[in-house]
Amino acid sequence: MEKKIGIIKYRWTIIIATIILAAASIIPLITIKVNPDLESYLPDKMESKVNNDRIGEIFGTYEPVILIFETDDVLNPSTLERLEKLSSEFGKMSEFASVISLYTTRDIRSEDGTMIVDPVVKTLPQTPEEKEALRKEIKKNDLAYKLLVSEDFKYALILLNSNKTTKDKELIDLIYKKLDEFPGNEKVYLNGQPYLRSEANDKISRDIMILLPIGLLLMLLFFWISFRELKGVLLPFTIVLISIVVSMSLIPLFGWELSIIGIIIPVMMLAIANNYGVHYVSRYQELNALDPNMTMNEIVTEASTYLNKPVILCGLTTIVGVLGLIMSVLLPATQMGVVSSIGIALALILSLTFIPAILSVMKKGKVHFDIEGEKRGKIVYILNHIGRFVTDNPRFIIISFIAFIAISLAGLFNFRVASDFNDILPQKHPYNKSINITNKAFGGSKMINIMFDGDIKDPAILTKMSAYEEELEKMPGVGSVTSIATIIRKMSTALNDPSDPGYNRIPQTREGVAQYIELYSMNGDPSAFENLVDFDYTKAIMTIQCNYEKLSEAKLITDKIKALTKDDPGTVIGGYALVEKEMSESVVTGQYYSLIFAFLAIVILLAIIFKSVTAGLLGSIPLLYAVFCIFGLMGWLGIELNIITALLSSISIGLGVDFTIHIFWRVRSELSLGVGYPAAFQTAIRTTGRGITINALSVMLGFSVLFLSAFPLIKSFALLIILSLLFCLFSALMLIPAICIIFKPKFLK
């Protein structure tokens, strides 16, 4: 009682302190920065990042931006002229370390026993005959055919290696500016990490600006429909606003940046922070209906006495569940776990202090709750019928739930982990169109690099690299493999007749290799090899172009590479495809860790709360039910496990356990009055069920705003989290009561 009197006694101190906290938290929001770089989401010690850094130290930390030109025939003079001018202009720009196109790649051929190195396109074809002659020459050139021009000649490619000195948006704007300077009838598509980051950056900002206001508006509307009272709208809504501001301000305060995952944080606060305030308002309306003569101070004291313990326990379980995210390997997921947990803790504290403090200075409203549920409130009316049905048919309820989860689990046979993160943007986005074209026409959009160490002019090393190329090209999903060995073999075809032993072979001596390279330097561009070997020929790069859809296929390729190079000292395997692979594997690992952490923590907390291991195990049933059903439905719906959907388990576990705690708490209260299990659960479902139903629906409504996101991954997350909460709600209102009515667990007495 003293504690409750204390809250009322110091209400103005609580109110003023809360206002100051909210106002102070607005300042850091001005400094928040957006980070759309997926690679930075992994720890710096991850093997793929370490290897990429090692390769970058030798060959430069370049990022490719790919331009794909689509037309009826890329050998049309107008298209070739545009490609030539653009290649020349991009080559002059300091933002790019190198430009690769039909006009920078060489045609190595023999003429009178001499090696000739010319551009692939020497002159523009003026007649159909010249065009067809050029087409035949390109088809013979395996350095250009299917690499820079598609097999059907409908697509041509320009690869720009950015030196990472310019911001992504500025770089992409410069590219578009050049495209506008040299217009043409071709459709142009872009892909590459700078382009992806630029688009993602814009969409992150767009989501924050659009989703939050719409979500807040929907929440206001929902509170009004649920409570029909101004204080029932404003009190939980105020908690939501303060929690969002404080949690988002923590991101820059901790020195972090807002990621794609971070978009969910304010929406999560929108959905979760109202939970505890909703229960307080619901209890206030219930007490006002039970005894209209109670004063507001009496209602506040009684509501606090009844709600403090279960609300604190629900808050703790939610925080523990969300803290499961800190087990993720992905840095933004860990940061989300920390920030969201603090935001939820603040919402809990304010709901237990700020809301009663505000209520105590307000006048009582009209009665908005019918304890019998017949005259007012559709929710109570429906819950009343649910309670009767459950208590009359507990075995039927259990069998129905078992049948549904069995059907859902069959979907696990189709469950997949994302092998890449192209689905960050919509399929119709030009980025994904470019990816699809690259996969279809140019051997694949995924790149793996192998850096070899040693005397690269040594025929033994080159022969080994050539053998690796042949082995890897046989692998499903591998489109092309290119290295200095490819070029040396190409030279050998120009200097030898097909009947000669050295045709399409690596020379047998180091001097022979050096002679090939010298001949090329005399006839071609000496810098043409700088992307393949270092200056002193002690390091070489092999580039593997891949196209796969499953993580298992990526693993087969990388396992093959490791098997081939296991006896090669100093070999380093890198490339962005490996970053994506490790990120996908980290998603799976993090999912296991966070799920186990959250589940065990919840079981232990429930066991402590109700002083019973049975309570811990029984209370976890809705959580397990929801998680397994969702994973099964992901298989049925074709939704992959990715960096966003992997957040699902911890969040749904943290939220879903609240429903069961409130039901248990009310049933214990009813059983203490001497009623039986059926009657106790009917009352609990009708009364407390109203609060948790409004709570669940408000959380679902909050997350439903994510359907308006520009990111497909976040839309999928919205669907899954809503379904998960729905399963937890149904389990708390139907499955758990049915089990308890049959087995009558002692911890409830």
**588-618 pLDDT, tens digit each:** 888 888 888 888 888 898 898 888 999 999 9
CB 107 within 8 A of CB 115: no
Convert the pLDDT of each residue in 134-149 to its tens digit: 999 899 888 889 989 9
Dump pLDDT digits (tens) for 311-324: 888 788 888 888 88
Q: With contact defined as beta carbons under 8 Å apart, do 605 and 318 qualify?
A: no
Cβ(242)–Cβ(231) below 8 Å? no
Radius of gyration of the chain (CA): 32
**Do residues 584 and 418 touch, judged by C-beta distance below 8 A?**
yes
pTM listed for this prediction: 0.83
Alpha-carbon dihedral sign for residues 694, 697, 703, 707: negative
250 pLDDT band, cuts 50/70/90, is: very high
pLDDT reading at 371 higher than 60: no
CA neighbor of 468 nearest in space, from 565, 578, 548, 567: 565
| DSSP code per residue over 83-119 | HHHHHHHHHH-TTEEEEESTTTSEEEEEETTEEEEEE
Residue 15: its H or E element:
helix 11-29
Model pLDDT, residue 592: 84
CA gap 225, 233 in Å, rounded? 9
Helices 378-392/736-743 angle, 10° precision: 40
Q: What percent of the chain has pLDDT over 70?
A: 96
What is the DSSP code (8-state) at residue 526?
G
The reported pLDDT for the residue numbered 1 is 40
- What does the pLDDT average to over 1-29? 81
Give residue-wise pLDDT tens across range 523-550.
666 666 778 899 889 999 999 999 888 8
**Containing H/E element for 158?**
strand 155-162
In this predicted structure, the answer to whether residue 3 has a pLDDT above a threshold of 60 is no
Tokens of 582: 């490790």
> Which residues have C-beta within 8 Å of that of residue 75, sequence separation ≥ 6?
125, 131, 134, 135, 153
pLDDT of residue 313: 81
pLDDT for 634-670, tens place per residue?
999 999 988 888 888 888 888 888 888 889 988 998 9
545 in Cβ contact with 438 (< 8 Å): no
Look up residue 619 and give its two tokens: 């209370």
CB of 505 closer than 8 Å to CB of 488: no
Q: What percent of the chain has pLDDT over 90?
A: 42
Q: What pLDDT was estimated at residue 376?
A: 47
The whole-number pLDDT of residue 373 equals 45
Phi, psi of 330 (to 5 degrees): -75, 125
Nearest to 488 by CA among 17, 446, 509, 472: 509
Residue 738 has pLDDT above 90, yes or no: yes
Q: Which helix (H) or strand (E) holds 427?
A: none
pLDDT tens digits, one per residue of 159-198 = 999 988 899 999 999 999 999 999 999 999 999 989 998 9
Mean pLDDT of the chain: 87
- The pLDDT of residue 701: 86
Each residue of 341-355: pLDDT tens digit? 999 999 999 988 898
pLDDT for the residue 742: 94
120: amino acid identity, one letter: V
The predicted pLDDT at position 394 comes to: 95
pLDDT over 60 at 220, yes or no: yes
